[in-house]
């Protein structure tokens, strides 16, 4: 729950980088490579974050596994007193 709250505080918006915009061609190749790699890294982080969020959603449920086992045992053994 705390992780989800922290996630809501941080917004990773798509960068408004136009690699075909005016002046892009005049930028140093090293800089253009850095921008390209940073955008690739951002996409990877977003995919990992989405996967972790989906995984966390799947692990939280309203069921109580211990309670289910106790109920199954009670049913199998017959309720006692």
Domain spans of the chain, in order of start? 2-77
At which residue do the structure tokens 């982080």 appear?
Answer: 45
Higher pLDDT, 64 or 28: 28
CA 73 – CA 76 distance, rounded (Å): 5
pLDDT at 27 over 90: yes
Average pLDDT over residues 52-69: 73
Mean residue pLDDT across the chain: 79
Name the DSSP class of 81.
Answer: -
Return the half-sphere exposure (C-beta side, CA atoms, 13 A cut-off) of residue 21: 6
């Amino acid at each position: 729950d705390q992780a989800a709250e922290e996630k809501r505080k941080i917004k990773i918006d798509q960068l408004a980088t136009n690699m075909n915009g005016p002046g892009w061609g005049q930028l140093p190749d090293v800089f253009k490579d850095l921008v390209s790699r940073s955008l690739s890294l951002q996409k990877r982080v977003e995919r990992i974050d989405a996967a972790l969020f989906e995984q966390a959603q799947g692990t939280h449920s309203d069921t109580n596994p211990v309670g289910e086992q106790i109920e199954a045992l009670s049913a199998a053994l017959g309720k006692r007193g």
